[in-house]
């Protein structure tokens, strides 16, 4: 993997992750829907319970979210530079993680219910926004090459 892919992917992953996080945090503050809590939640990790890490500082949980987003950003840039399909890969890598709503809501009492239509809508909207950030950056990368 080239240094260029790593740097651009890191930057994109950071930007997209911050956008998603701020969007869901704002939604949670305005509506009370626990979608930001869901984004940051790690209750489902067996090691979290064993180590007593079920209640972590928000900054730490957000950092974990950003690490995942950085990895997705790097993968996305590598795919876009290799295949020239920013739309396909953007939708795929942005929206596929939204399917995690289903198992994640079943693994914690601190998150929305599986059938909470409002939470599902906000969760999908946030991941749609994440996809748009990826796609916009992918199109820009293609134009520069």
Q: What is the pLDDT of residues 35-92, one digit of tens each?
A: 999 999 876 665 555 555 556 788 988 999 999 999 999 999 999 998 878 999 999 9
d(CA 53, CA 75): 29
State residue 90's pLDDT score.
Answer: 96
d(CA 66, CA 13): 7
d(CA 25, CA 20): 8
Higher pLDDT residue, 143 or 39?
39
State residue 1's pLDDT score.
Answer: 75
State residue 143's pLDDT score.
Answer: 86
* CB of 26 closer than 8 Å to CB of 103: no
Is 70 exceeded by the pLDDT of residue 144? yes
State residue 74's pLDDT score.
Answer: 97
Is 70 exceeded by the pLDDT of residue 115? yes
DSSP 81-121: HHH--HHHHHHHHHHGGGGGHHHHHHS-SSS--TT-HHHHH
State residue 44's pLDDT score.
Answer: 64
């Amino acid at each position: 993997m080239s240094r260029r892919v790593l740097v651009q992917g890191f930057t994109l992953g950071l930007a997209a992750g911050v956008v998603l996080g701020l969007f869901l945090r704002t939604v949670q503050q305005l509506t009370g829907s626990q979608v930001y809590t869901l984004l940051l939640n790690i209750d489902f990790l067996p090691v979290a319970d064993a180590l007593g890490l079920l209640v972590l500082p928000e900054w730490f949980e957000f950092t974990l979210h950003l690490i995942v987003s950085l990895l997705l950003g790097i993968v996305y840039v590598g795919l876009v530079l290799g295949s020239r399909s920013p739309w396909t890969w953007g939708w795929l890598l942005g929206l596929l993680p939204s399917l995690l709503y289903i198992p994640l809501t079943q693994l914690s009492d601190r998150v929305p219910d599986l059938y909470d239509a409002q939470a599902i809508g906000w969760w999908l909207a946030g991941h749609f926004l994440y996809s748009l950030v990826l796609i916009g950056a992918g199109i820009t990368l293609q134009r520069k090459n």
